Amino acid sequence: MAHFSRVAMVVIDVPTGDHDRELAFWEAATGQGLPQLKYPEYHGARLHGQDLGLLVQRLGEGPPRVHLDIHTDDAEAEARRLEKLGAQRVRQVETWWVMRDPAGMLFCVVPEPVGKLNETNARLWE
C-alpha cells in the first residue's frame, strides 16, 4: 500500500536517575525547552528551524542510548517495508512499533495522522 514516511525524531534514552540532568543538558545545548509530552517519560520538541525533533526519554531500565523514530501515515505498511529490508519487530507499544535494524539497533515506527505527511515533507513508498 502506498504510504509516506520520514525520519522525524532523534530519541535520547536515559535511565531514570540521569533523566533530569540529561534533559537540562539538551535544553541548554539546543537553546530551547523540551516540554513534557503526552506520556510523562517523554520530553521533546521539533528543533528550531528544523523538520527534525529531539526527544529525551526516561527508561525504566537499561543503558543510555540513542535511537531514531520513523514517522509514517501507515505504521503497518512501513513496518512490513522495513521487515523486507531486514528489520525485525520487537514489540508494539501503544500505537507504535519498536523494531530492530539488521545490526541489532532499536528504532521506532510511529504513526502520524493521515494528511500530515506529504510530498513536501516525507518520502512516498509505492
Q: Give residue-wise pLDDT tens across range 12-71.
A: 999 999 999 999 999 999 999 999 999 899 999 999 999 999 999 999 888 999 999 999
The pLDDT assigned to 71 comes to 98
Asked if the structure places residue 43 within a domain, the reply is yes
What is the CATH classification number for the domain harbouring 24? 3.10.180.10
Asked if the structure places residue 24 within a domain, the reply is yes
The mean pLDDT value for 4-11 works out to: 98
Asked if the structure places residue 9 within a domain, the reply is yes
Asked if the structure places residue 103 within a domain, the reply is yes
Q: Is the pTM of this model over 0.75?
A: yes
Asked if the structure places residue 69 within a domain, the reply is yes
DSSP labels, the chain: --EEEEEEEEEEEEEHHHHHHHHHHHHHHHTS---B-SSTTEEEEEPTT-S-EEEEEEESSS--EEEEEEEES-HHHHHHHHHHTT-EEEEEETTEEEEE-TTS-EEEEEE--TTTS-TTTSEEE-
Asked if the structure places residue 34 within a domain, the reply is yes
How many independent structural domains does the chain possess?
1
Q: Domain range holding 68?
A: 3-121
pLDDT band with cut points at 50, 70 and 90 for residue 96: very high
